[in-house]
Amino acid sequence: MAFTAKEVQALRQATGAGMMDCKKALEEANGDLEAAKQWLREKGLSASAKRDDRDNAQGVVAVLVKGSVGAMVKLKCETDFVASSDGFKAEADALVALVLEKGEAAITQRATQLEDLKILLKEKIEIGDVVRIDGGAGNKIGSYSHLQGGRGINGVLVEMSGATDELAHDIAVHIAFARPKYLNKTDVPDSVVAAERATLEVVTR
């Protein structure tokens, strides 16, 4: 099927792939631009596909609470420069709003937007942890987002019964800074208890 040079250029701009690869993709897709994009991704020829093996330890943690429902999403990238960019933070906000409204599974609805963001920002971008809490009747959802450079780098959601909004928030803040490893006393291994006891015995001598 025939296609124009303008269509080849449009595919190059959308995927970051080479000119010959874009021509081949359009040939395989019979001129269908979206199908050509998918062909390039499957062949590992799009710029975003080539970045899939990179490390992405940076990112944003977005937290949102509305009434008795709380949501938290981690969106990962490679550099703090991208993590601090308006477009990246806006996508994290859009993702957490979607999870809050429709649930964790709904996050796949923004797959196209994430792919476009990879191409625009030229980094490996992917969704990390996703959490949604539906609070029980009368319970409070406390939240805290620790900011650095205008972006959330650590987040906490906590559900409490018999608490005020202020107390739930304070507990969330405490969790963020204490970074506990265990949720319940019974989760703590005996070896850890013994090591901590030995340390405290030395300190209090």
- Tell me whether domains 5-50 and 58-186 share a fold: no
* DSSP assignment letter at 46: S
pLDDT in tens, 26-56: 988 888 888 888 888 777 666 555 555 566 7
According to CATH, the superfamily of the domain at 58-186 is: Elongation factor Ts, dimerisation domain (3.30.479.20)
CB 106 within 8 Å of CB 72: no
Q: How confident is the model at residue 1 (pLDDT cuts 50, 70, 90)?
A: low
The CATH architecture of the domain made up of 5-50 is Orthogonal Bundle (1.10)
- Number of separate helices (H) and strands (E) present in the chain: 9, 5
**Pick from 151, 149, 137: nearest CA to 73:** 151
Distance in angstroms (rounded) separating the CA atoms of residues 189 and 119:
45
Question: Which pTM does this prediction carry?
Answer: 0.70
pLDDT in tens, 76-100: 998 889 999 999 999 999 999 999 9
Domain ranges of the chain: 5-50, 58-186
Distance in angstroms (rounded) separating the CA atoms of residues 201 and 39:
64
pLDDT in tens, 129-167: 999 999 999 999 999 999 988 899 999 999 999 999 999
pLDDT in tens, 100-135: 999 999 999 998 898 888 888 888 888 999 999 999
Distance in angstroms (rounded) separating the CA atoms of residues 136 and 140:
8
